[in-house]
Structure formats: structure tokens, C-alpha cells
């Protein structure tokens, strides 16, 4: 199995089917699809179970553990050389995985993201393509759901830091750049981002607090 696609899902009954099908319909097919239901209280789990595809491997948390914990659990269960993220609210274009695999196989890059379209107005993000190294000091310029990374590197840097309940993706990207890893972003939008259910919009204050810690290179346990 060359690639593991990982998706943690919680109470996403209105969007999860489209998210799952967007991965199952990829032009690239050599992957396992690890989905973890993080204690959903709606029909999310039933919807996932109704989708029949041998590439899907379903895990569950009996109680909600949060995104950071769940992603690390999925990484531990993964078997692919590459790990790709997918959010349960979003949709990947059919050639997304194929184009990212091509980058990681044919270049020296170990991390690849893509640009995305905002669902409500189809505007492209990140807007300022190519300025990630500058923007990372002010905000996260990468789309977490588009991440594809070599598994060995992800394990090497310690996976996601579980002290970061929010902004775990921002912390991860900063850790990667701080360790001198270059991140390739495909200029073409290959992902549709649903901003209505986005954690950054729903938990703005919490996200902002943890993002501030990331920018200062502080972890919560260091705060007295």
C-alpha cells in the first residue's frame, strides 16, 4: 500500500458522504482510506458504514477525543509510505492525489500541499502563492486538508503535538519549516474548502490563542 489517506470525522452527517466519495473517486487508486469517527452523535457513523469500498478502514473513538489525538491515532494505524489528509467537510478534486504523488516521487520534496477554492465564492486560497515562508510568521498559509507527507518524516518530527487542541496544523507546518523541510504547494487548486464548518471559524477565540503560541514557539505546558 503506497499511500494512506486519513480523515477524522465528528458530527458531519451533512458533508461526510461527499468528502469520502471525493477520495474514492480519485484517479490515483493505490491507497488505503483510514476514517476515524470521533464519537459522533448524529448519523455520521451510519453514513460511513453504508459506503462499501474495500479501501476504507473504519476506526472509532467511543468518546470525542478531538482532532489532534485522532489524527495521531490514524497515523499510528497507517501503512502507506505517504500520508494524505482529508477533512470531512471538504472535497478533493479527482486528480489531487495523483498530482501530489507525482511531486513527492519525482522531486526532493517530502511535503506537498495544494491551493484550494473557498466553497461559497470559489476564490483561490492561499491568495499569495509562493510567500509561505514569510506568511508562516503571521498566519498559517497552508490548507491542512491538502497535506501529503512522507510518513517517515511525520514520525520523525513527532507527528502532531497533542498539547495543541487547536492550531495543530499550524504547529505541524512550523515544525516542518523549523526543521528545514521545504513545502511544495501545487499552484492549481485541487481542493474545495467548506468555511462554514471550518474549526477556525467556529472556534475563533480558541484557534487564535493556540495560533499565538505557535507563532511564539511556545507549547501550553511551558506557560506558568
Q: What is the pLDDT of residue 223?
A: 86
Range of the domain at 178: 3-217
Domain presence at residue 148:
yes
Q: What is the mean pLDDT of residues 103-112?
A: 98
pLDDT digits (tens, 9 = 90+) for 144-198: 999 999 999 999 999 999 999 999 999 999 999 999 999 999 999 999 999 876 5
**Residue 128 pairs with which residues in a beta bridge?**
none
CATH number assigned to the domain comprising residue 33: 3.90.550.10
Q: What is the pLDDT of residue 199?
A: 56
Q: Name residues whose C-beta falls within 8 Å of residue 52's C-beta, 6 or more positions apart in sequence.
A: none
Domain presence at residue 155:
yes
Q: How many domains does the chain have?
A: 1
Crossing angle of helices 204-215 and 168-178, in 10° steps, is: 20
Domain presence at residue 47:
yes
Burial class of residue 158 in the structure, from the number of CB atoms within 10 Å of its CB (0-12 exposed, 13-18 middle, 19+ buried):
exposed
Handedness of CA 224, 69, 154, 214 (dihedral sign): negative
pTM over cut 0.85: yes
> What percentage of the chain carries pLDDT values higher than 70?
97
pLDDT digits (tens, 9 = 90+) for 41-52: 999 999 999 999
| Cβ proximity of 85 and 145 under 8 Å | yes
Amino acid at each position: 500500500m503506497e499511500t494512506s489517506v486519513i480523515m477524522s470525522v465528528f458530527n458531519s452527517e451533512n458533508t461526510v458522504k461527499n468528502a469520502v466519495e471525493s477520495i474514492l473517486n480519485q484517479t490515483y487508486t493505490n491507497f488505503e482510506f483510514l476514517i476515524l469517527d470521533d464519537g459522533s452523535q448524529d448519523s455520521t457513523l451510519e453514513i460511513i458504514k453504508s459506503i462499501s469500498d474495500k479501501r476504507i478502514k473504519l476506526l472509532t473513538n467511543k468518546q470525542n477525543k478531538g482532532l489532534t489525538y485522532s489524527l495521531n491515532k490514524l497515523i499510528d494505524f497507517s501503512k502507506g509510505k505517504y500520508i494524505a489528509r482529508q477533512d470531512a467537510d471538504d472535497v478533493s478534486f479527482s486528480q489531487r492525489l495523483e498530482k501530489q504523488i507525482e511531486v513527492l516521487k519525482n522531486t526532493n520534496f517530502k511535503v506537498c500541499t495544494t491551493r484550494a477554492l473557498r466553497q461559497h465564492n470559489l476564490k483561490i486560497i492561499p491568495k499569495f502563492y509562493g510567500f509561505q515562508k514569510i506568511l508562516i510568521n503571521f498566519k498559517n498559509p497552508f490548507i491542512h486538508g491538502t497535506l501529503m507527507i512522507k510518513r517517515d518524516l511525520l514520525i520523525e518530527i513527532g507527528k502532531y503535538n497533542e498539547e495543541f487542541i487547536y492550531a495543530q496544523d499550524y504547529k505541524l507546518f512550523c515544525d516542518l519549516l523549523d526543521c528545514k523541510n521545504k513545502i511544495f504547494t501545487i499552484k492549481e487548486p485541487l481542493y474545495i474548502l467548506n468555511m462554514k464548518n471550518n474549526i477556525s471559524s467556529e472556534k475563533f477565540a480558541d484557534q487564535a490563542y493556540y495560533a499565538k503560541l505557535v507563532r511564539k514557539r511556545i507549547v501550553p505546558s511551558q506557560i506558568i
